Structure formats: C-alpha cells, structure tokens
Amino acid sequence: MKIPFLAAGSVVIALFVLPGMAQSESETVPEFFFTRLVYGNGRGTPQVPVLDFRCKDLAPGEGGTRMGGGWGTDFPASDCKFMWGVERLTNIRVYDKTPNLVTALDEDLFKYPYLYIVSPHRMNLSVKEAGQLREYLLRGGFLHVDDFWGLEQRYIVEAEMAKIFPDRRMVRLNVKDSPVFRTFFDIDQIMQIPNINNGRAVTRGLPGARTWEQQSETEPMIFGISDDKDHLMVLMTYNSDLGDAWEWMDDPEYPQMFTGQAYRMGLNFMIYAMTH
C-alpha cells in the first residue's frame, strides 16, 4: 500500500520499514533508507533483481559493479559504504543490511523520501514512469541524479527531466545561495569528484591526469529543480561522480579529499531531503 508523503515542504523525517521486515523490541528501527532507482532503456519494463548480497559481506577495499552499467553503476559497494558513512558521521539510524532498490512503478516508491539515480544518460523513462516520479516528487520526495558528463549526456538528462517536469527548469545552484549546501556541513565549493581511474591517476601524478571525463564541458556544476515554494525536489551532480568516491573510499589510491567532499555533499543532500 502506498504511503503518501506530507505536503511538499513539510518535514519528512519518519520511520520507514521494509515490507516483511520482522521487528522486535530489541531491534533498532531505521530512520533512513538509501534508495536507488532501477530504470530501463525504453525496451521493456525494468525489474528489481533478487539480491543475495549483504553489505557486511563486502571485503575491505572491494568495489566494482555486480549489475553492469546503467542503473547498477558502482552498485552495491557505493550504497553500502555511503550508508556506513552516514552512520559514522551522524546519529541517524540507517538501514544498511542490503542495498535498497525500487523502480519508478514500484508500489514501495512512496515509502522512501530519498531516491538516487546514477548514469542517468542511459535512462529512458516511459510516460507512466515519468508521471509516477512527478507525483513522488510533488508529494515531498527528493531525487539525487549523479554521474553524467559532457554536453551530450547533459542534453539527454535534460530531456529525461523534462519528461518528469515539462513545466520546470533545471537551474544551476550556487553554494552561497542554496540551503542544501548548509544543512549539515558548510560546503563552500563545487568540487569535481572523479571516477576511480582518474582519481588514481591524480594520486600517482601521471602525465595528463585529470578529474573530468568529457572535453565538451569539463566544469563541475550542480543543478536543481524546485517546487512552487522554492524547495528542491531534484538535485543533479553534473561532471562529478559521487558514487565512485563512496565506492572506493577505502582504496588507498583514491584521493581522500574527493572522498571527504563526496560524503559531505551526500550527507547534506540526504538531510535536506529529510527536513524540507
């Protein structure tokens, strides 16, 4: 059964329990689920895979995707390691047993106030999926879109966002003006977060090492889509890859300055989603 959100702009801190999760008095009920959207490429309806994976089974330093590209980029290590970081840096109780996945048409979508999409340039939303995401966001949900690079991918993402909100623009955010940069940490710069290979190249001091991926546009930017009360519903980290920084946070060759910034930004976005 769908649980509607509070009206957009209201505080949305609440307890959310996965369907079928047995609870006892001794168990700690989680306050937050890091929820990743499983999307398709326009050919068939996407399905949430059956997972036999538990976050505690990750080996130290382990990364790499188990689900291929697209929605599964950096999965599941980035999800697990980000949730562990949330627990270490805040007193928020996080569900960290297994990664949490939904599709746009999943009846459980409305139980989770925070949704993460990675590699959105590979996504092709149907009319029904876009409508469901629009309803989710207008009810108070929050969407973080991550890891797309260069003008070609940016144009694709703009088109996908226009399916959800044809009447609302993507607006570039300024760290001095938007409260999302001050919800937990004070973020004073838009740092470019590189993928693992570029990050290692920076650490090794290799000739030509860089943090950007596509030459058509190299500057890191953050875009947002807001509701009628100017509360952010969608936030997009463009020319940046927070997921890789979370995934490889314990790789000795991935620069700590990028990991630290990725955690600070992710935590700010998450807390904004829970309090606005």
Here the CATH number for the domain that contains residue 78 is 3.40.50.12140
Q: 2 in a domain, yes or no?
A: no
Query: Domain containing 118: what range?
Result: 35-275
- 244 in a domain, yes or no? yes
Residues 6 or more apart from 96 whose CB is under 8 A from it? 55, 80, 83, 84, 87
Question: How far, in Å, CA of 218 to CA of 190, rounded?
Answer: 13
Judge whether 270 lies within some domain: yes
pLDDT value for 27:
54
pLDDT at 66: 76
Is 138 within the bounds of a domain? yes
The answer to whether 114 touches 144, Cβ cutoff 8 Å, is: yes
Kind plus residue range of the DSSP H or E element containing 257: helix 256-275
Q: What is the pLDDT of residue 24?
A: 41
Give the pLDDT score at 198.
98
What single-letter DSSP state applies at residue 84? Answer: H
The reply to whether 8 falls in a domain is no
Separation of alpha carbons 216 and 97, rounded Å: 40
Our measurement of the distance from residue 229's CA atom to the centroid of its chain's CA atoms, rounded to an integer in Å, reads 23
Question: Is residue 24 in some structural domain?
Answer: no
Tens-level pLDDT at each residue, the chain (276 residues): 233 333 333 333 333 333 333 344 335 788 889 999 999 987 778 999 888 889 998 988 898 877 778 999 999 999 999 999 998 898 888 888 899 999 999 999 999 999 999 999 999 999 999 999 999 999 999 999 999 999 999 999 999 999 999 999 999 999 999 999 999 999 999 999 999 999 999 999 999 999 999 999 999 999 999 999 999 999 999 999 999 999 999 999 999 999 999 999 999 999 999 988
Task: Answer yes or no: pTM beyond 0.85.
Answer: yes
What is the number of H-type helices and E-type strands within the chain? Answer: 6, 7
The tally of domains found in the chain comes to 1
Q: What pLDDT score was predicted for residue 52?
A: 83
